[in-house]
Structure 1
Amino acid sequence: MTAIPRSPRLLLLSTVTLAVAGIALLGIPHGQVPPATSRATAPRAATDPSSAAAVPPAGQPTVGTAPSTPLAAPLSPARESALPPHGEGVAGDRSVQRNLEAAWPADLPAHDERPLLTAGRALLRADATGVGRVKWPTVFPDSGGTVAPAFATARFRIQAAIARRDGSPEKALVHLVWAGMDRGGTFTDLRITDWFFTRTLEKGTAPWTWQPRI
């Protein structure tokens, strides 16, 4: 019997070996990591501090983090203050009045608000310029004498005025914003003065009476 040459036998063994290896590789799904590799990387994922902090335990809120929210828009000047900037002149008076009314909503009926505003304006004018003090002898006991006004009549104006309750329906205050030039020649606007009143129950008298603030 003739012996088979060695080279064909080696070729046959190599072919069988490659076939077995190919079958083994085809048995693993595409993209799957071999089991040995998964076991090697699992402990690292569990002990990595960055991974543990990124995902909190189930049912527990995160600490030290907050959802991303848009920044709030800056407040407009009208929202930051009820008064506009100084120096706008007569043109800004309407804005002063509007902002005061928005910042402090009305809480008095019109039949109370009207006489309060009239009295408050007259008191402020008399106090600042000396005009009409004789009408308020209890407020200005020295009105019969010669009193130099603190502010020039020509440069005095009331920029805005509101009347509101002062803690109860029987008490009220008149809040005034005004401008004027003092004796030294300094003109200043957005000055603030409050006058306080109580309701008058006597017939034949003004519905509201001025009261000093103690």
Structure 2
Amino acid sequence: MTTSSPRLLLIATLVLAVAGVVLLALPHRPSASASPTLPPGAASAARASDSPASGHRAASRAPASDTTAATPTRSAIASALPPHGEGVAGDAVIQKSLEAAWPADLAADDERKLLAAGRGLLRADTTGVGRATWPAVFGDPGQAIAPAFATARFRIQAAIARRDGSPNKAVVHLVWAGTDRGGTYTDRRITDWYFTRTTSKKEGGSTWTPQPRT
């Protein structure tokens, strides 16, 4: 047993050495748990998304939705408006902002009539001037009602007339400035007047009737 042990150890050592050489000679293959390689197309897309510059270019090429293109956001409109207290010089900017936010959708003649009526109603409501023209809206013209705003410093800054969900309904959107009875001047006030189209057989046409304020 003592003479054969060294011989067995030598044989075992030679077998292990040969096995090691054989294993080293075989080609290396990744294990199943290694990360798989991406297809060429996916790899190029991943590289593009990793680059901030290419990602920015891709975002800029993406088309905007129809809603975003048609109607600016409120923050965009607000940022385009002049500061409070700008005076008459800023009225044109407010008018353009309204027209950009709500594109025209009424016939020119209807829009003209609605704007004239909306302006007159706002003036009558705030200053008391011309209330007798709309007794259905303001009630008895002989009843004395103290105006809430002074006529001298009342000013309509901008106005548009648009459909209100139906061809026979409309709204006049007005932005205005005025001084109240307490002497406080405020601009960019907002008032909406709503109208319905009524047909008159006697007159052979249609008219826009203002709805009472609620």
- Length-normalised TM-score, structure 2: 0.66
Cα deviation, 1:148-187, whole Å, max 9, x if unaligned, reads 1100100100000100001111111111000001111111
1:66 is matched with which residue? 49
Change (3 A) 1:52 1:160: same
Cα deviation, 1:92-146, whole Å, max 9, x if unaligned, reads 0011111110110000011111110000000000000000001111111143122
Equivalent of residue 103 in structure 1, options 96, 101, 104 = 101
Assess if the C-alpha contact under 8 Å between 1:197 and 1:210 holds in 2: yes
Cα deviation, 1:66-98, whole Å, max 9, x if unaligned, reads 35233999x9x9834264332211000011111
SS of corresponding position for 1:66 = helix
Amino-acid identity (%): 62
Assess if the C-alpha contact under 8 Å between 2:77 and 2:97 holds in 1: no
Assess if the C-alpha contact under 8 Å between 1:150 and 1:182 holds in 2: yes
Q: If you compute each CA radius of gyration, which structure gives the higher value, 1 or 2? A: 1
Change (3 A) 1:185 1:213: closer
Whole-Å separation in 1 of the counterparts to 2:40 and 2:213: 62
Q: What is the letter of the counterpart of residue 70 of structure 1?
A: H
Assess if the C-alpha contact under 8 Å between 1:107 and 1:165 holds in 2: yes
Assess if the C-alpha contact under 8 Å between 1:164 and 1:174 holds in 2: yes
Write 1 or 2 for the structure with the bigger share of helix. Answer: 2
Whole-Å separation in 1 of the counterparts to 2:174 and 2:146: 22
Equivalent of residue 196 in structure 2, options 195, 198, 203 = 198
Cα deviation, 1:46-83, whole Å, max 9, x if unaligned, reads 69xxx959x646676788x935233999x9x9834264
Whole-Å separation in 1 of the counterparts to 2:93 and 2:183: 26
The count of corresponding residues between Structure 1 and Structure 2 is 170
- Aligned structure 1 segments of 4 or more residues deviating by more than 2 angstroms: 55-63, 65-73, 77-85, 203-206
2:122 is matched with which residue? 124
Whole-Å separation in 2 of the counterparts to 1:160 and 1:178: 7
2:4 is matched with which residue? none
Change (3 A) 1:150 1:174: same
Over aligned residues, Cα RMSD in angstroms?
A: 3.6
Equivalent of residue 180 in structure 1, options 178, 181, 184 = 178
Assess if the C-alpha contact under 8 Å between 1:180 and 1:189 holds in 2: yes
Structure 2 spans left out of the alignment, 5+ residues:
1-23, 61-71
- Length-normalised TM-score, structure 1: 0.66
Change (3 A) 1:150 1:111: same
Measure how far apart 1:206 and its partner are. Answer: 6.8
1:6 is matched with which residue? none
Q: What is the letter of the counterpart of residue 66 of structure 1?
A: S
Q: What is the letter of the counterpart of residue 79 of structure 1?
A: A
Assess if the C-alpha contact under 8 Å between 2:120 and 2:130 holds in 1: yes
